[in-house]
Amino acid sequence: MAHGFPWWRHAVIYQIYIRSFADGNADGTGDVAGIISRLPYLASLGVDGIWINPWYVSPLLDGGYDVADYREIHPLYGDLEQAKRLIREAAKQGLEVLVDLVPNHTSHEHAWFKAALASEPGSPERARYHFLPGRGEHGQLPPNNWKSVFGGSAWTRVPDGEWYLHMFDVSQPDINWANPEVREEFLDIIRYWLDLGAAGFRVDVAHALVKEAEYPDAVDDREAVLTTPDGEGHPLWDRPELHDVVREWRTVLDQYEGKVMVAEAWIPSWTRLALYLRDDEYHQTFAFQLLRSPWEAGTMRGIIADAIVATGAVGSIPTWVLSNHDVVRQVTRYGLSPDVEERAWLLWGDESMLDLGLGTRRARAAALLMLALPGSVYLYQGEELGLPEVHDLPEGVIDDPVWERSGHSEKGRDGCRVPIPWTRTGPSFGFGVDGSWLPQPETWSALSVENQEGDEGSTLELYRSAIRIREERLRGDEDLVWLDLGPDVLAFRRGSGLTCVVNYREESIPLPPGDVVLASEPRDDGFLAGNAAVWLKPI
């Protein structure tokens, strides 16, 4: 509370997909040593902290979101001593470290699930998960119609005839949160990481967790639920009971200083999302609406205004994010023709539908928009380099379980998980001294850190400047006043006097009075180019 508000309330946090960030031991996979070696880079970017995607022991069937041991680091990534060292070294650079808590499911290789399989139906070992008899004369049908997010039924049968629930991959059995033993275990895991010095947790699928006790059929499938105004009454998503669990976690966090929990809750309704932000629950919830928004001034303005009102109603503030390891990178999203459905496009990847130059301009403008907003911001590794989605990964290297479970009708999320290019040349462009677990496009030499560093017009330097100016002028400032500069222009002034103008048109517009402090495109006296943004200060 050094400035009268907790550190995370206006923070910029950088998401590290550990497998693809930096490889310290030449095996083609990122690791803890790699992160440690790049801490100076993160400090120079000006961020306040990092969130590390799951780094635990895991068969890696869903990129580590299939946890086999919540207290140990995967040997591919290092060991616990290195993790402790990372937390210590990060602190020296002024960086907090958030870890990923995966409470909805374990891996099928977790000791609990192995014990469940080895035990009888009705046993305490099975009661940690959701095991049910099937329907039909011989129990040959799944217990209900619930579908896996990754495709297919959410139920898999075991040899003795019972079925277990997995809302994601078959290797990710859902945990039973009605079981007190489960709740105790996670309180212990939370204490474990906080005691090691972690600043807190990003909580995976925070809107899942508790399932309706009677396991009724779902009227809607998952996507339908995500597009209805509220999920109340849904047997799987956003159950009211889950808030009791969150309150228990929060009680533990409050026994420490400055700890934080951010919810990954894909809930379209602001009023329902705000429930997660009540005083005794999460500190932050990602405002995914902005990430999902098309490049449209009115839509984005509506989202920003709604987020501020809804979070403010519970004494909180929005948490902005434009990309993460699950979504198509924004350079590609904003560069695709508006009538193209991204996920479908990934399958055929017709480049005539994609304008990367336009996507890059818009992504740079969107970065200035996001970094000018009140609240906290999460950046995803590589967005500060303007990396596009790698949409043409050959089928042979695809790792995301979505690909198989969807019967090859969805390509999955590997295209935003390709290892970071650090240098212009060299095998894997400096990601490691050998190869990288996913191939990088040749064009990434130009997007490498080395190639952008010091180049004022680069996306990297734009992010650096924006984060620095944000820190100097906006930290602690929670006021925003909308300005009307005409259709397809979004503009607002912050309490400090800083004004952000985003031009969604193709043609340039005249700028209001003010000195330009930062611009996403080369400056043009008194004008702002199309698909560009600018920050102004009072003259």
Question: 204 or 384: whose CB is closer to ligand TEU?
Answer: 204
Q: CA-CA-CA-CA torsion for 457, 463, 468, 470, nearest 10 degrees?
A: 120
Strand partners, 518: 535
Choose between 368 and 393: whose C-beta lies nearer to ligand TEU. Answer: 393
Return the number of the residue (327 or 490) whose C-beta is nearest ligand TEU. 327
* Phi, psi torsion values for 303, nearest 5 degrees: -65, -45
Residues contacting residue 143 through CB under 8 Å, at least 6 positions apart? 132, 133, 134, 135, 155, 163, 215
Query: What is the number of alpha carbons within 13 Å of residue 234 lying toward its C-beta?
Result: 24
Q: How far is CA 140 from CA 116, 130, 137, 143, 449, in A?
A: 20, 17, 7, 9, 55
Residue of 504, 528, 149 lying closest to 338 (CA atoms): 504
What does DSSP say about strands 319-321 and 284-285: parallel, antiparallel, or unpaired? unpaired
Closest contact distance (angstroms) between CB of 439 and ligand TEU is: 21
Minimum CB distance to ligand TEU smaller for 281 or for 410? 410
Nearest distance from C-beta of residue 334 to ligand TEU, angstroms: 17
Give the separation between CA 272 and CA 538, rounded to whole angstroms: 38
At position 443, the amino acid (one-letter code) is: T
Q: Whose Cβ is closer to ligand TEU: residue 259's or residue 405's?
A: 405
Task: Calculate helix-pair angle for 356-371, 459-469, nearest 10 degrees.
Answer: 10
Confirm if 185 and 127 have CB atoms less than 8 A apart: no
* Contact between 103 and 209 (Cβ < 8 Å): yes
Q: β-pairing, 376-380 with 12-16?
A: parallel
Q: Measured from the CB of residue 327, what is the shortest distance to ligand TEU in angstroms?
A: 5
Inter-residue contact 227 to 250 (CB < 8 Å):
no
Q: Where on the chain is the footprint of ligand TEU (CB under 6 A)?
A: 62-63, 65, 102, 149, 168, 204-205, 264, 266, 325-327
Give the whole-angstrom CA distance, residue 5 versus residue 249: 21
Q: How far is the CB of 124 from ligand TEU (least distance, A)?
A: 25
Q: Residue 506 CB, nearest distance to ligand TEU (Å)?
A: 29
Instruction: Give CA–CA dist 71/421, Å, rounded.
Output: 30
Q: How far is the CB of 100 from ligand TEU (least distance, A)?
A: 8
- Cβ proximity to ligand TEU, 290 vs 511, nearer residue: 290
CA 386/CA 255 separation, integer angstroms: 40
- Specify the residue, 417 or 494, whose C-beta has the smaller distance to ligand TEU: 417
CA distance readout (Å), 423 to 32, 329, 488: 19, 21, 38
Q: How many CB atoms lie within 10 A of CB 357?
A: 11
Q: Cβ of residue 202: shortest distance to ligand TEU, in angstroms?
A: 9
Distance CA 518, CA 537 (A): 10
Q: Closer CB to ligand TEU, residue 104 or residue 360?
A: 104
Nearest CB to ligand TEU, comparing residues 149 and 189? 149
Q: How far is the CB of 205 from ligand TEU (least distance, A)?
A: 5
| Cβ atoms of residues 304 and 296 within 8 Å | no
Structure tokens at 67: 């946890």
The distance of closest approach from Cβ of residue 168 to ligand TEU in the complex, given in angstroms and rounded to an integer, is 4
Give least dist CB 399 to ligand TEU, A: 12
Q: Looking at beta carbons only, is 171 or 458 nearer to ligand TEU?
A: 171
Closer CB to ligand TEU, residue 204 or residue 383?
Answer: 204
CB of 277 to ligand TEU, least distance (A): 19
- Shortest reach from residue 326's CB to ligand TEU, in Å: 3
Amino acid occupying residue 131: F
Q: Which value, in Å, is the radius of gyration of the alpha carbons in the chain?
A: 23
The smaller minimum CB distance to ligand TEU, of residues 149 and 466, is found at 149
Q: Are 167 and 236 in contact (CB under 8 A)?
A: yes
